[in-house]
Amino acid sequence: MRRRIFGILALMLAGAPLAARAADVANGGDEAEERFTVIKAGKIITVSGKDIDDGLIVIVNGKIRNVGKSLEYPGNAKVIDAGNRVVMPGLINPHSRFRLPPVPRDGVHADKAVADEYFPHEPDYEVLLDAGYTSIALTPLGPQMPGRALVTRTGGPDKERVLSSPAYVKVAPDKKAFLDALDKAQKEIEKVDKARKEFEDKQKQAKPPASQPAAAPGSAPASQPASAPASQPAFTPPPIEPAYQPLVDLIQKKEGVQALIELRGASDYLHFADVLERFDVAHAFVCRNLGRSDLFNVADKLGEKKARIVLCPTVNVVPFSAERVNVVRELNLAGCEVSLAPMTDADAEASRVLRRAAELVRDGWKREDALKALTLNPARLLGLDKRLGTIEKDKDADLIFLDQDPLRTTARVREVMIAGEIVRRVKEETR
């Protein structure tokens, strides 16, 4: 009998650690759930700091845990031998209509979102993966204010695909439409403020006197109410017109809300600058600087504002002249934070972005600025720089593997990783 009792106690003690471990997992402990992946890279372009030759990237559950040399990791980690690869953050396209229907929205529809027309077809995105794009901002189409963008990954699990929705409010190059819309939004704010003031005034008038007069000598005391007075009613604001709610949020500086204003040239910026002087709203710019461009004429003004601007990776020509001008470099040198996007939404242009960026570097643009314009800067513009754009601790492991330095014109993307998993191996015939 005694032996039986000791045997039961021994089994209970032996099972205690297992029970504690199971309880830890049930309560959200992640020790048993950590999935380690280690990339042994020939070269790591972190973008956030110096390049690392023969470095390691330690990834846990799709997030970068560490990057450097001679790092420790568990013996059961999945190891990816990329000794013949250059690894860098995935490219981010901050402005595109890729595979969206060519149906514009006329008028002010800031409450509409690309999510309403976003029905991804997996094979369509293979061309973006082959080009090195791991994220893309899909923007609405229209001549005034057609709605808000959506930021999505180009691959990976469906539940982790959409990164931001709704994203920025798209503003077409129409100063009057933008100003009128902001004026209307301001009136909506004033309408709510007026209603609140009227409500508060009525509440003050309805309040009982602060103190009751003393009772006359010999008179009976006033009767007390049978129950406590009812609570004061809450203010219900009048509804704001839905199409203008995002603009109200802009004026009231709601976190995460900004406008992306399209420019055709220098004069558009000067017109919009008048509006932005009156309404100090969060904003960035986009300009498809194809062929001839005079945007360099306002480089100093944009630079003074430290403007964020999306440009195409090309050397332009001065209007009415044969003189070449590197508008991208000029705006960058002036103080702008430049992001690059393909010249068009055609499949071939996505695959040419790295080569076009390399040509700008050959024309005098700094290499580190070009790399940021493809990765970190668009992440900042989209409000996703805490997750994307560099290779450093706690960032998402959205990475691309190239056969040589990305700014060599013959470089090719060979593998693409999203959320720590290889989602694409580029076939030889796609070169």
Task: Tell me: pLDDT of 9 over 50.
Answer: no
Two structure tokens written together for 31: 């020790």
pTM: 0.87
Mean pLDDT (the chain) is 90
Element (H, E) at 276: helix 266-278
Q: Are 323 and 353 in contact (CB under 8 A)?
A: no
Over residues 306-325, mean pLDDT:
97
Q: How confident is the model at residue 233 (pLDDT cuts 50, 70, 90)?
A: confident
- Supply φ then ψ for residue 34, to 5 degrees: -70, 125
Task: Tell me: pLDDT of 24 over 50.
Answer: no
- Say how far apart CA 386 and CA 63 lie, in whole Å: 12
Task: Tell me: pLDDT of 154 over 70.
Answer: yes
What is the domain partition of the chain in residue ranges? 33-90+389-431, 91-181+241-388
Whether residue 166 is preceded by a cis peptide bond, meaning omega within 30 degrees of 0, is: yes
Q: Are 126 and 350 in contact (CB under 8 A)?
A: no
Q: How confident is the model at residue 30 (pLDDT cuts 50, 70, 90)?
A: very low
Q: How confident is the model at residue 10 (pLDDT cuts 50, 70, 90)?
A: very low
Strands 133-138, 150-153: parallel, antiparallel or unpaired by DSSP? antiparallel
pLDDT > 90 in the chain, percent: 81
Task: Tell me: pLDDT of 290 over 70.
Answer: yes
List CB contacts of 232: < 8 A, sequence separation 6 or more: 203
- Say how far apart CA 183 and CA 422 lie, in whole Å: 49
Over residues 220-245, mean pLDDT:
76
- Say how far apart CA 286 and CA 95 lie, in whole Å: 8
Measured CA to CA in angstroms, residue 294 lies from 65, 130, 336, 378 at distances of 45, 33, 16, 23
Over residues 51-66, mean pLDDT:
98
Measured CA to CA in angstroms, residue 403 lies from 69, 114, 215, 341, 365 at distances of 21, 35, 95, 22, 23
What's the fold here for domain 33-90+389-431? Urease, subunit C; domain 1 (2.30.40)
Task: Tell me: pLDDT of 136 over 90.
Answer: yes
Q: CATH assignment of 91-181+241-388? A: 3.20.20.140
Q: Are 389 and 47 in contact (CB under 8 A)?
A: yes
List CB contacts of 88: < 8 A, sequence separation 6 or more: 44, 45, 47, 371, 375, 391, 399, 400, 402, 406
Better-scored residue on pLDDT, 180 or 120: 180
